[in-house]
Amino acid sequence: MTDDTPDDAPQDMTQTFPGGLRKLAEQLGKRQAALKYREGEALPPLDCDLDAIAARRVPMDLAPPPEGSSSSTRKWYAIASEMKGKSELAVLHGVLVANLRKRTCPAHAPALFRRLWAEKRLELFDQLTTRWLISAAITFADVGETEADRRLGQSLNLLFSVMKLYEAERLYSGLSPQTPFKMRDRLVADLPMEMPNFALIDGDLEANLLAPIWLEAQQSDGVGPLALELLDRLNRDPGTLFRRLALLRGAKRRKARRE
């Protein structure tokens, strides 16, 4: 081990996940226990008045739930605390996402989630942060009404989950998300899993990754508009891997013209 290796790092790193991926599946299962509802607690019915919910605002002075409250009440409070001053529609959406991530949930929750996106898409775009929009897109992977919606939701799940892993790990470089690496610092080394390196100027990996998602979104009535909104936000965000690669590409082309 190097001097930078944490003291509690496993001595044998022949496997990244000791015990194999089965351990990850077990870990995931523990986090999927259904939320508990008590008498008098329930999601709004499928035919609830969404206009009335959208018109109400989350109070700025929310009182925390009493000790011993149900898991559904605690989840509602956690989400509402994040949405203070916003429409209660945003809270309902968050609670639906939380329920739909579990192994079981109220029977009408998938249909109510889809109804929100069919009838209140523009309000949700306005009220929800990009983080919550990504969560919504990922939820479509499980509860989309069509195979096309579920497939597109899964593609977005993989895209943004891998982006989050990479961007979180990159912060340990000491560079901000908006700062590209310097061309002179590039290390010549083999990529893991025997993958060929990415050709900065002529590589088509970005197109192969993003363009199919964009094309599928054009054909999807369910999650499609949400996917297009997220891809547009990705394109405009200055702190993504794709923007840094574009900056590096530009620097490399300018250097080539000078030589």
N- to C-terminal Cα separation, the chain: 42
Alpha carbons 86 and 91: distance in angstroms, whole number? 8
242 and 153 part of one domain: yes
Residue 137 falls within a domain, yes or no?
no
Longest dimension (CA), the chain: 75
Is residue 168 domain-shared with residue 59, that is, in the same domain?
A: no
Domain membership of residue 10 (yes or no) is no
13 lies in a domain? no
**203 and 96 assigned to the same domain:** no
The span from the CA of 126 to the CA of 83, in Å, is 12
What tokens appear for 166 in the block?
């990479």
- Residue whose pair of structure tokens reads 């899964």 in the numeric block: 154
Q: What is the pLDDT of residue 8?
A: 56
Which of helix, strand or coil describes residue 114? helix
Task: Tell me the angle at which helices 205-218 and 147-170 cross, rounded to the nearest 10 degrees.
Answer: 140
Give the model's pLDDT for residue 1.
Answer: 45
Q: Enumerate the H helices of 171-240 as residue ranges.
A: 205-218, 224-236
State residue 224 phi and psi, 5-degree precision: -55, -55
218 SS3 class: helix
In a domain, 15, yes or no: no
Dihedral sign for Cα atoms in the order 245, 247, 250, 252: negative
**Is 19 domain-assigned?**
no
Contact 251, 186 (CB under 8 A): no
pLDDT at position 5, please? 53
Last residue of a domain, one of 101, 128, 155: 128
Local confidence pLDDT in tens for the 259 residues of the chain:
455 555 555 556 788 888 888 888 877 766 677 888 888 888 999 999 999 999 999 999 988 988 888 999 999 999 999 999 999 999 999 999 999 999 899 999 999 999 999 999 999 999 999 999 999 999 999 999 999 999 999 999 999 999 999 999 999 999 999 999 998 888 899 999 999 998 888 889 999 999 999 999 999 999 999 999 999 999 999 999 999 999 999 988 887 888 7
Query: Both 227 and 176 in a single domain?
Result: yes
The predicted-structure confidence for 134-144, as pLDDT tens digits, reads as follows 999 999 999 99
**Is 37 in the same domain as 122?**
yes
Shared-domain flag, residues 124 and 150 = no
**One domain, residues 44 and 78:** yes
In a domain, 14, yes or no: no
Query: Does residue 17 belong to any structural domain of this protein?
Result: no
Range of the structural domain that residue 41 is part of: 28-128
At position 39, the amino acid (one-letter code) is: E
**Same-domain check for residues 35 and 63:** yes
Do both 167 and 256 map to the same domain? yes
Q: Would residue 38 count as lying in a domain?
A: yes
Position 33 scores a pLDDT of: 75
Number of domains in the chain: 2
What own/partner pairs with CB < 8 Å and gap ≥ 24 does 60-63 have?
60/84, 60/85
Exposure of 170 in the CB half-sphere (CA atoms within 13 A): 17
